[in-house]
Amino acid sequence: MSTRLSLIGLGAMGLPMARLLAKRGPITVHNRSRSRAEALAAELPAAGVAQTPAAAAAEVVLTVLPDLPDVRAVLDGPDGLLAGWQRDSIDRPLLVVMGTVSPVELRELASDLASHGVDVVDAPISGGVLGAAAGTLSVFVGGTPEQVELLADVLEPCAGRVTRMGPVGSGATAKLCNQLVVASTVAALSESFALARASGIDASTLADALGSGLAASEVLRQKREHWISESFEPGGTVDYQVKDLRYAKQSADAVGLNMRAAKSVLELFQASKDAGDGGLDHTGVYRQVIRD
């Protein structure tokens, strides 16, 4: 692949993605905490470190950041991406937004950047930390067919499936659909493990039984040990789950849908956040279930 590539955001998902991309070829990385980027570069010489977002300006820039305010923060100012693209005279760069964001705000960002000659594609990812490390992520893309074809090539080392959902904003909406399923499953499994424990059933035995029947899911496969050990070190957090559910509700309101189940799940996760568990893995909502 000859396209100049950068990745901004070396968090729980971005770091394993950058590692796989750097194994294929050159990539520039930037992270607010510089030590993470420098450690990656020491491990894989194909990864170059950009001290500022401007230095990460490239033909394709992947942003693996929590929300759009974080994306805007790396765009603006003398050290931002916009300044870097202008300085390096990069024609029609492609900004790829890979976090779970509001489709409404994503389309606003795309409109704003179009006036600067920057194309925007929304390409949120699903598959969890394990999927990021294994290179099996599912990517929901909002963009033109040509942009999706380019992105499929760019992301080949870290994505098992890249799917065009429609025009810009469609990827963000599809990811919110994904998050509704994930959050509802996490909530249901949390209640199931709470009920089993309260009834004297071993949690590991329950997990094995659920995983062998219709209740089997990727959520259960990846997250079962959290419920079994009642230890909730974060991957995706309760805080992020609340954010995603709020955006899903915003999108549902915009099209006139009253999603009762989603509202109930949001209420549960919001209670968990309010109780101080926002920084836990989203399976930590289990604590709220047993508190209730």
Whether the per-residue pLDDT at 236 is higher than 90: the answer is no
The average pLDDT across 212-235 equals: 96
Exposure string over 227-251, b if 16+ CB within 10 A, otherwise e: beeeebebbbbbbbbbbbbebbbeb
Phi, psi of 73 (to 5 degrees): -65, -30
Domain ranges in the chain? Answer: 5-167, 174-291
Exposure string over 102-120, b if 16+ CB within 10 A, otherwise e: bbebbbebbeebeeeebbb
User: Which tens digits make up the pLDDT trace of 91-111?
Assistant: 999 999 999 999 999 999 999
Query: Residue 276 in 3-state DSSP?
Result: helix
CA distance 55 to 33: 15
Q: In the structure encoding, which two tokens stand for residue 107, read together?
A: 């389309």
The one-letter amino acid code at 45 reads P
User: Which tens digits make up the pLDDT trace of 186-204?
Assistant: 999 999 999 999 999 999 9
Whether the per-residue pLDDT at 68 is higher than 60: the answer is yes
Q: What is the CA radius of gyration of the chain?
A: 20
Distance of CA 221 to the CA centre of its chain: 19
* pLDDT > 90 in the chain, percent: 97
Whether the per-residue pLDDT at 1 is higher than 70: the answer is no
Cβ neighbours, 10 Å, residue 281? 22
How do 125-126 and 137-142 pair as beta strands?
Answer: antiparallel
User: Which tens digits make up the pLDDT trace of 26-43?
Assistant: 999 999 999 999 999 999
User: Which tens digits make up the pLDDT trace of 113-147?
Assistant: 999 999 999 999 999 999 999 999 999 999 999 99
CATH topology of domain 174-291: N-(1-d-carboxylethyl)-l-norvaline Dehydrogenase; domain 2 (1.10.1040)
CA distance 233 to 284: 9
Active site residues: 175
Please name the residue that has the structure tokens 């990864």: 47
CATH topology of domain 5-167: Rossmann fold (3.40.50)
DSSP symbols for 179-248: HHHHHHHHHHHHHHHHHHHHTT--HHHHHHHHTTSTT--HHHHHHHHHHHHT----SSBHHHHHHHHHHH
Backbone torsion region of residue 237, taken as left when φ is above 0, otherwise alpha when ψ lies between -120 and 50, otherwise beta: beta
